[in-house]
Structure 1
Amino acid sequence: MKNKIDYDDFYERVGRTNGWNFSSMNVVSENIGWNFYEEVVRHTRSSDLLLDIGTGGGEAILSIAEETLLLVGIDLAQGMIETAQHNLQSTGGHSNVRFLHMDAEKLHFPDCFFNVVSSRHSGFSASEVFRVLAQGGIFLTQQVSEHDKSNLSVAFGRGQSFGIQPGTLMERYKHELQIAGFRDIQAREYNVVEHYATPEDLMFLLTHAPIIPDFGKVDTDFERFQQFVNEHHDEKGIRTNSARFMITARK
């Protein structure tokens, strides 16, 4: 599993330079199972209060700001929140959006405050989410599966979930949600082919996301990168895979 302490510095650095904005990359994922924030919107009413955990630079939730009465994004990395604040101002500002520096393990909100809570590619506390959700509220989380970018992990001999059995994290989260008191817990997965148009696109991903821990700091990394590009290039680009799971749960 990812070690939060090991990743703190990475998220701070990336937060200040990029947030989670990967819009500059030319990448195509074939037949993905869903768009996470479209799913969030589908479960959100205009009168709802929505909390987004691990909001990063706020790029995703700013795109759905008009769908809810109040939207609060939190992140443990101060750098991410600074980028989110900048992105908020760049859009002209949304009066119903707040970004706060906060640990998901200790949410500073009243009980039963939010109607919807979302968390994409970020850790969360099932008991804290349950506490701040109103009765009947829904929690949605999307996470990266252990076999995501599996050919990259093999090529580099390391990865953020290298060697962990696929499904381990999903089953752990389902169990934690059940223990916290959630009902109607449902999970689904997808594992699809993904192509990066150029080596620069793939390099941007590896530099700004923790796919390969400490990418570029190992002497052989760039040699392995070039070899990977050569071996996994086809007419559509550089081939890897995108594996995700999503869990929804009701209070």
Structure 2
Amino acid sequence: MKMEQWMKQDEAFEGWDFSYITETGRMKSDGLSWSYGSLVLPLMREASAMLDMGTGGGEFLSMLKPFPPRICATEGYSPNVPVAKARLEPLGVDVRTYDSDDDLPFDGGEFDLIINQHESFSAREVRRVIRTGGTFFTQQVGGCDCFELNDAFAVPLNPEFARWNLEQAVNDLESNGFRVIWKREETAGQRFYDIGALHYYLKAIPWQVPGFTVEGFQDKLEEIHRTIEKDGYFHASQHRFVIKAEAI
């Protein structure tokens, strides 16, 4: 199929749901040695008040049941907010917007569990809203994530974000009133099996290749399309790390 035909098959992206390309086998990711969801569920059973930071469209949180007696979620990306509210509020989740990692819309010490999947955070502000003895559990996207895409488009990684890794996150948390209990960092493969899937992905995460447009990167897209036709896929490396920390 020609590249232009793949592009025309795109659907609108809503919330934080990549099933349009993952469940059809057009993009696949290798597994990590841990399961974020399986590690979160036991923590939820022990919690009385929980916050999910950066819930997206609420897709993931809506599947984590039963909920603690009090449960809140934040989302800072305005198009996701009505999606999250429509999905989560009928389940009893208090969904709130926020504008800055340094100013969460909660009083001090409101939560004994805060989870965070791929959302930026201020360690100082997380410590403010979590109770002493509470647990902060986060899985983060590392700064070298999918660097092969940046190489292919000749766009460098953001130098500030490129330094974001397990060591820096641990240092931030330990400097702001946390004790790290468990941590791990890995890379895992991610494959795009057609150029349309890659286009869909880049539209959803515009920060990966800033300024991305089909017109502006036509030549690079053609090169990647030829690679996929020759090799069967385009390979990129996911950079992930996970931390469980206790507020002290």
TM range, smaller chain: 0.7 to 0.9
Question: Structure 2: how far apart are the matches of 1:147 and 1:118?
Answer: 22
- Shift, 1:47, TM fit: 4.7
Computed over aligned residues only, the root mean square deviation of the Cα atoms, in angstroms, reads 2.5
2:118 pairs with 1:116: no
Q: Where does structure 1 lack aligned partners over 5 or more consecutive residues?
A: 1-15
**Residue 43 of structure 1, CA deviation:** 2.0
Q: Closer, same or farther in 2 for the Cα pair 1:193/1:237, shift >3 Å?
A: same
Instruction: Tell whether the 8 Å contact from 1:186 to 1:248 is kept in structure 2 after alignment.
Output: yes
Matched, 1:214 2:211: yes
Task: Return the index of the structure with the highest Cα Rg.
Answer: 2
* CA shift in 2, pair 1:175/1:211, >3 Å: same
How far apart, in 2, do the equivalents of 1:236 and 1:30 lie? 16
Percent sequence identity is: 25
SS in 1 for 2:143: coil
Aligned partner (choices 150, 153, 156) of residue 150 of structure 2: 153
* Aligned CA distance change for structure 1 residues 248 and 47 (closer, same or farther; 3 Å): closer
Equivalent residue, structure 1, for 2:233: 237
Q: How does 1:1-251 map to 2 (within 5 A)?
A: 18-26=14-22, 27-45=27-45, 47-88=47-88, 93-95=90-92, 97-102=93-98, 103-159=100-156, 161-162=157-158, 168-209=164-205, 210-216=207-213, 219=216, 221-232=217-228, 237-251=233-247
> Could you list the runs of 5+ residues in structure 2 that have no partner in the other structure?
1-11
SS at match of 1:18: coil
Offset of residue 227 of structure 1: 0.8
| TM norm structure 2 | 0.82
TM-score, length-scaled by structure 1: 0.81
Q: Secondary structure at the match of 2:60?
A: helix
1:116 deviation in Å?
0.9
Q: 2:170·2:180 contact (CA, 8 Å) conserved in 1?
A: no
- Pairs aligned (count): 230
